[in-house]
Amino acid sequence: MGTAFIFPGQGSQAVGMGKALADASAAARQTLQEVDEALGQSLSRLMFEGPEDALTLTSNAQPAIMAASIAALHVLEQDGNIRLADKAALVSGHSLGEYSALAAAGVFTLADTARLLRTRGDAMQAAVAPGEGAMAALLGLDRDAVEKVVADALAAGPGGEVLAAANDNAPGQVVISGHKTAVDRAIDLAKAAGARRAMPLAVSAPFHCALMQPAADVMAEALGRAAMQAPLVPLVANVTAASVTDVESIRRLLVEQVTATVRWRESVEAMAGLGITRMVEFGGKVLGPMVKRIAPDIECLSVAGPADIDAVLKAL
């Protein structure tokens, strides 16, 4: 039975995240302290106590989600006396979760991952002026139908707008991103095309589209300076939905990921095709439901709190 360790992305943050693990485990406390020291702030206090609006800021949410994920992994490894390389055949993550996956697989140090995600969050937030961009979830349309909606919305506009599929999360669950005017038209067109729901998302910037190119440029420079090691196990990358182990390829894909579609549905399908029959999500319980919609036969487990540790250890 092949197992993949998977890591959630932005939107999985919540006040109180990581606190129960930190209260119960020295491994979690040490992980969060290391992130605090790397960033020069008490991010853990913000995770535990809020306020929510500060935690939700992209520059805080991205390293916080990673910290909670890696803390959960370290607790599992310490309590169970296991190593990722012995229990996981692959790692993968959703958007920023790809950085968590790479930290878990030893590509980046924990401190470098935290600093890279702070840089990424700041750059993504600064890439587009407030109010200029937007994102929307289109439910009930497949990827091809969404691509037609995107094309029609752009054709109906003044020209020069950006609009793209940002996240292909699961069958009938695609997120679009781009200029707000184009997203608004696409919402109306999606409803006319039979979408079950088409709704704007409460996000601070239009992620994973060409409007994020300034952030991609920042990350190209930051990643160019970052120390990287070969992963302990292959990564299934967002951009390609294929496994990769070459460090320079991973570096390039992380830059491309800022503006490219998160191909999560295809990534899960690819992992199933590579023999994965179980996925363990670290730091949240948001990817499991998507996985079950994509590949119902895959067993989904999660490590979000102390109560999850024993069940996952028994399964592994």
Question: What's the token pair of residue 179?
Answer: 């200029």
> Where in the chain do CATH 3.40.366.10 domains reside?
2-127+211-315
Name the band, by pLDDT with cuts 50, 70 and 90, for residue 204.
Answer: confident
> Where in the chain do CATH 3.30.70.250 domains reside?
133-203
The sign of the dihedral angle between the CA atoms of 244, 248, 251, 257 is negative
The architecture CATH gives domain 2-127+211-315: 3-Layer(aba) Sandwich (3.40)
pLDDT at 221 over 70: yes
Please tell me the CATH code under which domain 133-203 is placed.
3.30.70.250
Known catalytic residue: 208?
Answer: yes
Q: Could you give the angle at the alpha carbon of 315 between the alpha carbons of 310 and 316, nearest 5°?
A: 100
Q: Report how far residue 119's alpha carbon sits from residue 109's, in angstroms, rounded to the nearest whole number.
A: 15
- HSE at residue 131, side-chain half, CA atoms within 13 A, is 0
Q: What pLDDT does residue 142 have? A: 94
Known catalytic residue: 74?
Answer: no
Q: What pLDDT does residue 203 have? A: 86
Residue with the larger pLDDT of the pair 11 and 46: 46
Name the band, by pLDDT with cuts 50, 70 and 90, for residue 11.
Answer: confident
Q: What pLDDT does residue 202 have? A: 84
**Of all residues in the chain, what percent carry a pLDDT higher than 70?**
100
pLDDT at 23 over 90: yes
Provide long-range contacts, Cβ within 8 A and 24+ apart, for 163-166.
163/209, 164/208, 164/209, 164/210, 164/261, 165/261, 166/135, 166/206, 166/207, 166/208, 166/209, 166/261, 166/262
What mean pLDDT is reported for the chain? 96
pLDDT at 1 over 80: no
Q: Which of 95, 100, 177, 267 is catalytic?
A: 95
Name every residue whose Cβ is closer than 8 Å to that of residue 221 and which is 6 or more positions away in sequence: none
Q: Which of 59, 208, 267, 302 is catalytic?
A: 208
pLDDT tens per residue, range 107-166: 999 999 999 999 999 999 999 999 999 999 999 999 999 999 999 999 999 999 999 999
pLDDT at 282 over 90: yes
